[in-house]
Amino acid sequence: MTVFLEAVVSVLLVLGSIVMLVGSIGLAKFPDYFTRLHAPAKSSTLGVGCILIASMIFFSVQLGHVNFKEALISMFLLITAPVAAHMLAKAGLHYKVNMKDNTQNQQLAKKAYLHQSPDEK
């Protein structure tokens, strides 16, 4: 493996790890449900994506052929993580989870509460 490819793999691994660390800190430090949901949803997609790209590069060079396992994992992650975050956010709106006073766009949540069917209120 050349020095350039080792540097690329190393940078991707470090970048992915830092993004995941920032998302984990956000999960622990943000004040309410919706902001806590935002941090790991975004960081898991980007962080694990960087780590999987680094793995694809490394093992493609080591084995001498392209390995599609990491590509399949990346596609699965890119499809499921945003959908799961959206479903959790909708569940939070459905159960009328309280937000902190300084959370932005609270009028959108109130608007969503008003658009629920009468039997759900």
Q: Is 1 exposed, middle or buried (0-12, 13-18, 19+ CB in 10 A)?
A: exposed
Is residue 25's pLDDT more than 70? Answer: yes
- What is the pLDDT at residue 109? 65
Is residue 120's pLDDT more than 80? Answer: no
Tracing tokens 């493609």 back to the chain, one arrives at 60
Q: What is the pLDDT of residues 81-97, one digit of tens each?
A: 889 999 998 888 777 77
- The total domain count for the chain is 1
- What is the pLDDT at residue 21? 95
Is residue 119's pLDDT more than 70? Answer: no
Q: What is the pLDDT of residues 42-85, one digit of tens each?
A: 888 899 999 999 999 999 999 888 878 888 988 898 899 889 99
Where helices occur in the chain by DSSP H, the ranges are 3-29, 33-63, 69-94, 106-114
**Residue numbers of the domain that contains 31:** 3-120
Q: Minimal CA–CA distance to 60: which of 15, 11, 5, 10?
A: 5
